[in-house]
Amino acid sequence: MMNNKNSVFCLQVWKVKKILSIILVLSMYSASSYSQDKKFYIYICLGQSNMEGNAKFEQQDTINVNRRFKVLQAVDCDNLKRVKGVWYTAVPPLTRCNTGLTPADYFGRTLVDSLPNDITVGVINVAVGGCKIELFDKDNYQSYVSSAPNWMLGMIDQYGGNPYERLVELARKAQKDGVIKGVLLHQGESNVNDPLWPKKVNGVYKNLLKDLNLEAASVPLLAGEVVNADQGGVCASMNAIIAKLPETIPNSYVISSKGCTVAEDKLHFNAAGYRELGKRYAEKMLALLRSANSKMKL
């Protein structure tokens, strides 16, 4: 017969085993409460009007959109029957309720056409026409907003008054579904000839990495040139500053806008220009993905 000491010991062992089994079940439940798909590639997009989408999209842009290309809705849009924070097939507009075609459209389309069929691509696009990069400075954005023109305030308000925080909010939600693979930036017209622009962009990029617990080595930053001089770009001088970005951010790459056709204002691209620029972003990202995983069958 077991003595009292042995009985107590056995009871304690049983209790420990029970507690461990409960912890195991809870951890399994927590891990399965959302399913992160390693083959769901997510890209953060931000900037001003050329990332927002200035050109009207055409019929060719709204048909036959691959269902493997998704957009995480950034604002509620009754006219589109879309709700903030929900994934939808990436039929334009991808930014807000009444915006146009963006580089993100044909970035995503080109990726899904080139990647294996089991890979899905998602974009999150938070952009505000006319804004300086300072709008995305998480520590000082309020100072910028306080002096922003009235016509810009309505767009900012659609992001809860803080576009950077909206971007992070959505990106954190997206991380439960997939893996953030890169950042796409198109901004600079409102910071034209600002020599501190690369440093300011670096501040935004570092904050994104920190707030989303990302490593710079695995999350490249792709920055597009503004309308090129060969198209008579009114802000083309900014491209010399954009070209210096890799000196500040090693894992950054400049996407050429040379030859990308433009609108009459020489400030924005036209629909064809956005399509071409988006493809160029995608071609660079594909090259980086190949480099990161040479065994990937593309």
Domains of the chain, by residue range, sit at: 1-33, 37-292
**Alpha-carbon gap, residue 107 to 255, rounded angstroms:** 12
Residue 33 predicted with pLDDT over 50: no
Spatial separation of the C-alpha atoms in residues 225 and 234, rounded to whole Å: 12
**What pLDDT does residue 4 have?**
52
Give residue 3's pLDDT. 55
Share of the chain above pLDDT 90, in %: 86
Confidence of residue 18 (pLDDT cuts 50, 70, 90): low
- In 3-state terms the chain splits into helix, strand, coil percentages (rounded to 5) of 45, 15, 40
**Residue indicated by tokens 């909010």:** 169
More confident call, 297 vs 168: 168
Between residues 129 and 21, the one the model is more confident about: 129
The residues that are catalytic are: 49, 265, 268
Please tell me the predicted confidence (pLDDT) of residue 292. Answer: 87
Q: Which tens digit of pLDDT belongs to each residue from 132-153? A: 999 999 999 999 999 999 999 9
In DSSP terms, 87 is beta-bridged to 72
Q: What is the CATH number of domain 37-292?
A: 3.40.50.1110
**Average pLDDT for the chain:** 91
Q: What whole-number distance in Å separates Cα of residue 144 and Cα of residue 138? A: 11
The encoded tokens of residue 70 equal 């998704």
Residue range 198-204: mean pLDDT, rounded: 98
Q: Tell me the pTM.
A: 0.88
Q: CA nearest 219: which of 180, 167, 172, 176?
A: 180
* β-sheet bridge partners, residue 171: none
Region 74-87: mean pLDDT is 98
Per-residue model confidence (pLDDT) at position 293: 79
